């Protein structure tokens, strides 16, 4: 299994609206691509929140091929939609992990 982890720091001024959008629009749209079998949203604790809240979204892909299909066919559009809606109100970084056990 492959975990595609997106960690996002969201400006306090948009945090509540952003979270609703994430849960009700963005994640469902990503899951509809068929590239991921499940996902989890977590909020990081014990971090400096003076500049915003930090969340991590973990998307589980059954194979590297499924993850690659998402990156090649959908990622650019999904990222652009985020920037179009929220501008510089968030900062994201991504990592890809393989489940060992």
Q: Which domains does the chain have, with CATH numbers?
A: 2-98 (3.30.70.100)
Predicted confidence (pLDDT) per residue in 63-89, tens digit = 999 999 999 999 999 999 999 999 999
Predicted confidence (pLDDT) per residue in 21-58, tens digit = 999 999 999 999 999 999 999 999 999 888 899 999 99
Which residues are within 8 A (CB) of 42 and not within 5 positions of it... i.e. 6 or more apart? 55, 56, 57, 58
């Amino acid at each position: 299994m492959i975990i595609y982890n997106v960690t996002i720091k969201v400006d306090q001024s948009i945090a509540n609206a952003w979270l609703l959008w994430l849960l009700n629009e963005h994640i469902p749209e990503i899951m509809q691509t068929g590239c991921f079998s499940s996902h989890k949203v977590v909020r990081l604790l014990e971090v400096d929140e003076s500049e915003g809240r930090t969340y991590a979204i973990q998307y589980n892909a059954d194979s590297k091929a499924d993850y690659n299909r998402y990156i090649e066919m959908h990622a650019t559009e999904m990222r652009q939609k985020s920037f179009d809606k929220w501008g510089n109100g968030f900062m994201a970084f991504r990592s890809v992990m393989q489940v060992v056990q």
